[in-house]
Homo-oligomer: A and B are copies of this chain.
Amino acid sequence: MQARYFSISAYPKGLPDKALFELQSHALPELAVDEIRIRNTWLSVDPYMRGRMSGAETYIAPFELGKPLDGAAIGEVIESRHTRFKVGDKVRHMAGWRDLAQLKGDVVEPLPDIEVPDQAYLGVLGMPGMTAWAGLNRIANLREGDNVLVSAASGAVGSLAVQLAKAKGGKVVGIAGAADKLAWLEQHDIGAVSYKGKDTQQLSDDLKHACPEGFDVYYENVGGTCLEAALNNLKVGARIAICGLISRYNDETQAQGPRNLANLLIKRARMQGFIIFDHWTEYPHFLEEVGPQVAKGEIDYEETVVEGLESTPDAFLQLFEGGNRGKMLVRL
């Protein structure tokens, strides 16, 4: 059986060119004992994958040139030599960027039993959702009544972060770009501030207008101007959770950092980076808390879906151009 997959031919500088991604195919070997074969139905593309294309070891190994890329995916078991799985089972695993995956059963999870569409386990109830939850609760120590600022607030992570924060009763403000994203925030009674065309001073002023008393928590996905503007609007004792710095991922040289870091001192504030894999043991806890709210429709989540394996690189590259509202997904 032939499987098709994407690989990259070189480690890109700057925004990757689409031609970097090569669609290849290979014949799958016979299933070995304990292996299963999966037909993928949904693939995830995520900003963190850009880091794996740098060739450098960070907190995760770089992608190997010429080998299948990977990432989260959902599929259906079509063949099994593992006692835990039978044909037809729906599963989640890390062999994305391909149509067919062949894996040891012990690195594959059955989908949890909650009444949500399968692809929710790649977004609101998957890694991005868990990232929003852990960043707020475990890194930023979100408390009742906290005023919370979220950048990339309509993205896969940010769109859950604003809703979880809102449930704590404080003022919540989201930074986004496109008009439809700002409108989505406003529909959910989240203060919506555009970053488009603004320098730090203008964005700072707009955040101050949206929340004059300042923020207890800043959930950071972007970096750059957003971070500087946030640092200008902290309350004393504020906590900043750094989930990502997407504005910097394609920089060819090291961008300048925030000029107003002294605000950490003046406001006795804390800034902490985190990697969701460190917190994955808490996934069942997250699922128990947030899963039912999603099933009942109390939490809104958006998806941006592109069709077909061939479109996976486009989906990935759109992440850096603000092309997604909510979770960016590829449907096979």
The chain A residues found within 8 Å of chain B, CB to CB, are 58-59, 223, 236, 242-245, 248, 254-275, 278
Contact = CB atoms under 8 A, between A and B. Distances in A.
Contacts of A58: 266
Contact of A266 (B59, B259, B278): B59
Contacts of A254: 259-260
Best-surrounded residue of A243, A255, A265, A274 (most CB of chain B within 10 A): A265
A104 to B, nearest CB: 28
A151 B71 CA distance: 41
Contact of A256 (B59, B259, B266, B269): B259
User: How many chain copies does the complex carry?
Assistant: 2
Given A248-B262, A262-B248, A268 B257 contact: no
A259 B255 contact: yes
B273 A264 contact: yes
Q: Lowest 4 A-B CB distances belong to which pairs?
A: A257-B257, A265-B273, A264-B273, A254-B259
A269 B269 contact: no
A266 B259 CA distance: 21
A265 B243 CA distance: 7
A265 B256 CA distance: 16
* Interface core residue of A223, A273, A275 (most chain B CB under 10 Å): A273
A254 B201 CA distance: 13
A134 to B, nearest CB: 12
Contacts of A242: 261, 264-265
Given A259-B255, A259-B256, A274 B265 contact: yes
Contacts of A264: 242, 271-273
Given A257-B258, A267-B273, 13 more contacts: A58-B266, A59-B236, A223-B262, A242-B264, A242-B265, A244-B265, A257-B257, A257-B259, A258-B258, A258-B261, A262-B273, A268-B275, A271-B271
Nearest to A239: B272
Contacts of A260: 254, 257
Contacts of A272: 264, 268-271
A272 B274 CA distance: 15
Given A59-B266, A266-B59, A223 B261 contact: yes
Contacts of A275: 265, 268
Contacts of A257: 256-261
A236 B59 CA distance: 9
B271 A278 contact: no
A332 to B, nearest CB: 31
A309 B245 CA distance: 51
23 contacts: A59-B236, A59-B267, A223-B262, A243-B265, A245-B261, A245-B262, A256-B256, A256-B257, A256-B259, A257-B261, A258-B258, A262-B273, A263-B273, A264-B271, A264-B272, A264-B273, A265-B273, A265-B274, A267-B273, A268-B273, A269-B273, A270-B273, A271-B271
